[in-house]
Amino acid sequence: MEFLAYMGDVFTPINFGLLLIGTIGGLILGATPGLSPTMAVALLIPFTFRLEPAQGLILLGAAYTSTVAGGAVSAILLKIPGAPANIATTLDGHTMAQKGQGARALQLSFLASAVGGVFGVLLLIFLTPVLAQWALAFGPSHLFWLAILGVTIIGSLDSSSVVKGLLSGCIGLWLATIGFDDIMGAQRFIFHDAVAGGINVIPALIGLFAIPQVITMFAKGRKRLDAEVIAVEKHPIGQAVGEVFRRKRALSIGTITGSIIGLIPGVGGQIAGLVAYDQTKKTSPEREKFGTGHSEGVIAAESANNAMVGPSLVPLLTLSIPGSPTAAVLLGGLLIHGIFPGSDLFDNYPDVAWTFINSMLIGQILMCIFGLYVAGLAARVAQVPNAVMAAVVLGLALFGSYSVQNSMGDVYVMMALGTGMYFLERFGFSAAPLVLGLILGPIAEANFIQGSMIANATSSMGEYFFSGTLNLVLIGIVVASIGYSLWMELRDKRYTTKDDAVLKEESLS
């Protein structure tokens, strides 16, 4: 119950103010189609440089949580999911809004999000310290395999093609080696002055997540957003509270499914929402009502996509393996403050770790309260033309990447990586494994070098890296994740990408 000792830290004026800003801002950003939670968090990182580590993480954590929930607003009122995690919400949420039950759908969505989110954060609270202590037993070879595991598991599960996902991970690992070698001081792959000091993670993250979105908005041309915001009638909140808890099956399936999926690195929120929706529909006696504006559909989808937020941080905070692209960006936010996840975080910075986790718990409740009030405003923001949004994001990307170390080199790297990523994505490559490779590359290399030194002094490389229960388990997971993904790909059963998730949505509806 160590977390309770730090609960008061969330309520200091600055921390609570940042939590409010992150929550309300995240709800509005989340409702905006094209602004994914990952991109929102990446663009926010430069604003956290001047903050204390805990304060910065509170802002990022609140934005992460509420962008996922905020995406439900545009899903319900505009039939445009704010983020892929909200695809399943459109199926019944928008139909409810069309029937004049928009307020009820929003209330159910935010209440279910809060219940799922609180459960997910509680899981994070109770699992993280145990796993962090367990991680103490890890030596260089284990940490090397863990870093490789982080890249391969996201490369194989989060991409539409296993080979291209792994290739993206390799590109990220290579990018991480650019600059001066830590041990010998040798220059590696320095083909331009801008990368002489290596590739800074924050501008790279901003470029990789924001610039492809900007170019995607350009690709739409001068198209007007024809979606109409459905007016919201008043609905008593008490009835919505009663309904959420009456729909126990949908709520529990959504919450448990989301939590389990969140724990698996590489599987995103859209899968949590769709799987929970699918399972609730299969087990419901009113399954014929799904797709016609049935509240169980909204409750299952929204409780699942928010329940996944907390558990997706468990691998990050304990083993440095981000469970989602957004968690990878949060890892970048931790590293800029010189904080490394794992037992170090809980032993040396317990105030930072627990204040951050507690703020996510309180953030779920604030999100529920403010979500209902800002829904109308958020839906209006969602109608901002693409041209404005693209120009704003481009401007923020320039200023944000420059402000990291007042370097134009960072800005050039940001734009080059972002533009390259857009074109790579058009050919089936994925940003998430590339980002993981870039972030986990230095960890993998440092432990590989350290491990090879130990191996040379004690045994052989093969024996050191390929023996021992933990090494074999980790190698087994790497092989299994690649094998499973290949098997699913060969059987055409994968629907883990955004495009595939949309297809799945169509088949469900």
> Residues interacting with other proteins, by CB under 8 A?
46-47, 49-50, 160-161, 163-164, 166-167, 170-171, 173-174, 177, 181, 183-184, 186, 188-189, 214-215, 217-224, 385-388, 390-392, 394-395, 398-399, 402-403, 406, 408, 411-412, 414-415, 419, 423-429, 444-445, 448-449, 452, 497
Residue 146: other Cβ atoms inside 10 A? 24
Question: Tokens 């539409």 identify what position?
Answer: 160
Taking alpha carbons only, the member of 282, 280, 307 closest to residue 296 is 280
Check the CA dihedral 98-100-105-107 and report its sign: positive
Nearer to other proteins, 71 or 84 (CB): 84
Nearer to other proteins, 136 or 219 (CB): 219
Nearer to other proteins, 222 or 234 (CB): 222
Q: State the minimum distance, in angstroms, from the CB of residue 476 to other proteins.
A: 19
Q: State the minimum distance, in angstroms, from the CB of residue 398 to other proteins.
A: 6
Q: State the minimum distance, in angstroms, from the CB of residue 147 to other proteins.
A: 11
Q: State the minimum distance, in angstroms, from the CB of residue 313 to other proteins.
A: 27
Q: State the minimum distance, in angstroms, from the CB of residue 142 to other proteins.
A: 17
Taking alpha carbons only, the member of 162, 436, 410, 174 closest to residue 326 is 436
Q: State the minimum distance, in angstroms, from the CB of residue 384 to other proteins.
A: 10
Nearer to other proteins, 252 or 452 (CB): 452
Residue 139: other Cβ atoms inside 10 A? 15
Classify 93 as helix, strand or coil. Answer: helix
Nearer to other proteins, 193 or 286 (CB): 193
Question: Tokens 């039950």 identify what position?
Answer: 101
Q: State the minimum distance, in angstroms, from the CB of residue 162 to other proteins.
A: 10
Cβ-contact 237, 99 below 8 angstroms: no
Two structure tokens written together for 271: 């899968």
Nearer to other proteins, 211 or 353 (CB): 211
Cβ-contact 491, 485 below 8 angstroms: no
DSSP assignment letter at 497: S
Nearer to other proteins, 423 or 487 (CB): 423
Nearer to other proteins, 13 or 226 (CB): 226
**Phi/psi at 142 (5° precision):** -70, -40
Check the CA dihedral 115-118-120-122 and report its sign: negative
Nearer to other proteins, 357 or 396 (CB): 396
Nearer to other proteins, 16 or 402 (CB): 402
Cβ-contact 314, 293 below 8 angstroms: no
**Amino acid type, 139:** G
Q: State the minimum distance, in angstroms, from the CB of residue 279 to other proteins.
A: 27
Q: State the minimum distance, in angstroms, from the CB of residue 382 to other proteins.
A: 16
Q: State the minimum distance, in angstroms, from the CB of residue 43 to other proteins.
A: 11
State how beta strands 187-188 and 179-180 pair: antiparallel
User: Rounded CA gap, 81 and 31, in Å?
Assistant: 8
Provide the strand spans (E) within 123-208: 179-180, 187-188
Cβ-contact 447, 140 below 8 angstroms: yes
Q: In terms of DSSP H, where are the helices of 382-403?
A: 386-402
Q: In terms of DSSP H, where are the helices of 32-101?
A: 37-44, 53-77, 87-96
Q: State the minimum distance, in angstroms, from the CB of residue 435 to other proteins.
A: 16
Dmax over CA atoms of the chain, in Å, equals 73
Nearer to other proteins, 11 or 399 (CB): 399
Q: Going by C-beta distance under 8 Å and a sequence separation of 6 or more, which residues neighbour residue 373?
A: none
User: Rounded CA gap, 171 and 84, in Å?
Assistant: 25
Two structure tokens written together for 502: 């949309």
Q: In whole angstroms, how far apart are CA 454 and each of 22, 64, 183?
A: 45, 40, 15
Nearer to other proteins, 99 or 192 (CB): 192
Q: State the minimum distance, in angstroms, from the CB of residue 252 to other proteins.
A: 35
